[in-house]
């Protein structure tokens, strides 16, 4: 198998690790401006080229797009034109116009290669169990829900200056709305689709960054029967990732950091899972990549193609537009 990888920062490297875990002999080509080799590229035995055209001329079996979010289009459009299977990091795009461009390209080019979007929390066993529980009607009517996530930005990437990261720069797709899009995707996966989207955001002077550091997003389901709030921040000194879903028959609570899922009903509280494996985020990267490789081998589809990524990106774009 031959894979081209656009972006070899921390997330790009994680995807390469997943590929090599599944396909140890996978040939890796890194796409970098000026085709600069370094200790990392040499250490993994990767070739390096300077453009998407050069990479795609090599007829890869797979393209991984893990550049800063605002730069995804530079790789995404050429890959669609060549009908190459794609693993697309989240968020899929960061501009409203790009959503239409990609959808038009997929239609006009009859793009039918398998694709995967990097909202990998959907692959957590606990999330899949929660999805099944909600679809079973066990909670009754979902009246409201809260999806919360936060972590102190300077702690994200040890050894680097957070003020120089893409998270700090809105022009690169930084800011909590895009950076922590997992929570919008989780809300969409578990409760969506949504109609109205409203948001409030603020900066935090102490972080000394240009992007929004705190945001609250309010979503209304298309039928107006469920209200959802999404709270995001770069401030929480202790990482938070917690979902509360309140229905007329019960309340489901997922603490992804604390690795626990509980169901509260009139009969009491039941722990549905506190097994670490059900909350193993690291494993979801391998699971998502494996699903894509299986789809490539079989000619089938994945559970979360590019369109799913565009739907979640559209929610984030609506939130941004409402600020």
CA–CA gap between residue 224 and residue 262 (Å, rounded): 26
Give me Rg for the CA atoms of the chain.
Answer: 20
Instruction: Pick 2-120+285-305's CATH classification: 3.40.50.150, 3.40.50.720, 3.30.565.10, 2.30.110.10.
Output: 3.40.50.720
CATH hierarchy code of domain 125-279: 3.30.360.10
pLDDT higher than 80, residue 224:
no
pLDDT higher than 90, residue 222:
no
CA–CA gap between residue 193 and residue 221 (Å, rounded): 6
Angle, CA of 165, 88 and 218, to the nearest 5°: 70
pLDDT, tens only, 266-303: 999 999 999 999 999 999 999 999 999 999 999 999 99
Q: What is the pLDDT of residue 158?
A: 83
Those residues with Cβ within 8 angstroms of residue 111's Cβ, 6 or more apart along the chain or in another chain? 80, 83, 105
Stretch 72-96: mean pLDDT, rounded? 97
Strand partners, 29: 4, 47
Domain ranges of the chain: 2-120+285-305, 125-279
Q: What is the pLDDT of residue 157?
A: 84
pLDDT, tens only, 241-254: 999 999 999 999 99
* β-sheet with 227-233: strand ranges across: 194-202, 214-221, 227-233, 142-150, 240-247, 251-255, 260-265, 268-273
Q: What is the pLDDT of residue 19?
A: 97
CA–CA gap between residue 255 and residue 269 (Å, rounded): 15
Please provide the DSSP assignment of 165-223 as one string.
Answer: SGGG-GGGT-SHHHHTTHHHHHHHHHT--EEEEEEEEE--GGG--SS--EEEEEEEETT
Domain 2-120+285-305 identical in fold to domain 125-279: no
Q: What is the pLDDT of residue 160?
A: 87
- Which value, to the nearest 10 degrees, does the dihedral of the CA atoms of residues 291, 294, 295, 300 take? -120
pTM of the model: 0.95
- The model's confidence at residue 82, banded by pLDDT at 50, 70 and 90, is very high
CA–CA gap between residue 28 and residue 61 (Å, rounded): 11
CA–CA gap between residue 178 and residue 280 (Å, rounded): 22
- The model's confidence at residue 3, banded by pLDDT at 50, 70 and 90, is very high
The answer to whether 246 touches 143, Cβ cutoff 8 Å, is yes
pLDDT, tens only, 158-202: 888 999 988 999 988 899 999 999 999 999 999 999 999 999 999
Q: H-helix or E-strand containing 162?
A: none
């Amino acid at each position: 198998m031959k894979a081209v990888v656009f972006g070899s920062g921390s997330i790009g490297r994680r995807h390469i690790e997943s590929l090599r875990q599944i396909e140890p002999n996978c040939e890796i080509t890194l796409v970098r401006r000026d085709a600069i080799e370094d200790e990392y590229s040499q250490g993994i035995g990767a070739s390096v080229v300077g453009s998407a055209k050069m990479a795609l001329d090599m007829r890869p079996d797979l393209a991984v797009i893990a550049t800063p979010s605002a730069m995804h289009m530079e790789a995404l459009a050429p890959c669609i034109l060549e009908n190459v299977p794609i693993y697309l990091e989240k968020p899929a795009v960061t501009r409203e116009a790009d959503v239409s461009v990609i959808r038009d390209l997929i239609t006009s080019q009859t793009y039918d290669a398998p694709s995967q979007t990097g909202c990998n929390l959907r692959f957590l066993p606990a999330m899949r169990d929660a999805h099944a529980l909600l679809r079973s009607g066990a909670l009754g009517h979902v009246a409201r829900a809260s999806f919360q996530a936060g972590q102190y930005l300077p702690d994200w990437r040890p050894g680097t200056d957070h003020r120089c990261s893409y998270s700090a720069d809105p022009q690169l797709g930084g800011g909590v709305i895009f950076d922590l899009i997992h929570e919008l995707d989780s809300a969409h996966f578990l409760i969506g689709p949504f109609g109205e989207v409203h948001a409030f955001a603020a900066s935090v002077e102490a972080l000394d960054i240009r992007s929004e550091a705190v945001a609250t997003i309010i979503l209304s389901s298309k039928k107006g029967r469920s209200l959802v709030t999404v709270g995001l921040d770069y401030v929480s000194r202790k990482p938070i990732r917690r979902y509360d879903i309140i229905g007329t028959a019960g309340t489901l609570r997922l603490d992804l950091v604390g690795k626990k899922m509980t169901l509260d009903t009139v009969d009491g509280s039941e722990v549905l899972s506190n097994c670490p494996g059900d909350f193993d985020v690291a494993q979801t990267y391998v699971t998502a990549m494996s699903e894509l490789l299986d789809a490539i081998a079989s000619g089938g589809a994945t559970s979360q193609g590019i369109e799913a990524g565009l739907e979640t990106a559209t929610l984030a774009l609506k939130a941004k537009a409402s600020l």
